[in-house]
């Protein structure tokens, strides 16, 4: 019986190593535009769509899982769950931080998915994120806003 318990622990640890542990979850603010990576019907109202971003950590490295949802269900069109595969996805502060934000914020995450670059903005410690179009942010991060 003891070896069976050890085997279960081994497989549990292996599962964590391969898939990771959920570190944090975010919801795209309803005030924010949708990420450029997603394709959705033009006539669909923004209020019917939401985006979640789950950050996983694991010994083999972290990953982000970003989902486009329609009324809290994963969107039916293909490729609307995205796991970015980039080496440099860490969050970075701007060199000159704007006034009115808590210490350490805002910070940004540049992601390139299917050849399309977009920048996520985290404004404070909260479960929401935003997509930024601020040209100062794009320039400082060294990214062409027209990509």
Query: Using one digit for the tens of pLDDT, what is the confidence trace for 6-47?
Result: 666 666 555 555 556 777 899 999 999 999 888 777 788 888
**100 versus 127: which is more confidently predicted?**
127
Return d(Cα 67, Cα 81) in angstroms, integer: 4
Average pLDDT of the chain? 75
Structure tokens at 93: 């502060």
pLDDT at residue 32, rounded to an integer: 95
* Confidence tier at 49 by pLDDT (50, 70, 90): confident
Q: Is 134 exposed, middle or buried (0-12, 13-18, 19+ CB in 10 A)?
A: middle
Buried b / exposed e over 103-128, threshold 16 CB at 10 Å, is eebbbbbbbbbeeebbbbbbbeeeeb
Percent of residues, the chain, with pLDDT higher than 70: 64
| Sequence spans of domains, the chain | 21-140
Return d(Cα 128, Cα 28) in angstroms, integer: 6
pLDDT at residue 79, rounded to an integer: 47
pTM value? 0.71
**82 versus 122: which is more confidently predicted?**
122
Return d(Cα 99, Cα 102) in angstroms, integer: 9
Which of 143, 145, 141, 121 minimizes the C-alpha distance to 131? Answer: 121
| Residues in Cβ contact with 90 at an 8 Å cutoff, skipping those fewer than 6 apart | 109
pLDDT at residue 31, rounded to an integer: 93
């Amino acid at each position: 019986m003891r070896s069976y318990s050890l085997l279960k622990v081994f497989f549990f640890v292996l599962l964590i190593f391969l898939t990771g542990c959920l570190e944090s979850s975010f919801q795209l603010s309803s005030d924010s535009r949708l990420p450029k990576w997603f394709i959705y019907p033009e006539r669909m109202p923004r209020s019917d769509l939401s985006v979640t971003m789950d950050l996983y950590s694991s010994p083999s490295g972290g990953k982000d899982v970003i989902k486009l949802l329609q009324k809290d269900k994963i969107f039916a069109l293909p490729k609307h769950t995205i796991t970015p595969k980039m080496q440099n996805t860490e969050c970075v502060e701007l060199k000159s931080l704007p006034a009115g934000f808590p210490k350490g914020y805002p910070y940004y995450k540049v992601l390139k998915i299917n050849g399309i670059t977009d920048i996520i903005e985290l404004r404070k410690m909260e479960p929401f994120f935003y997509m930024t179009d601020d040209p100062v942010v794009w320039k400082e991060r060294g990214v062409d806003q027209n990509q």
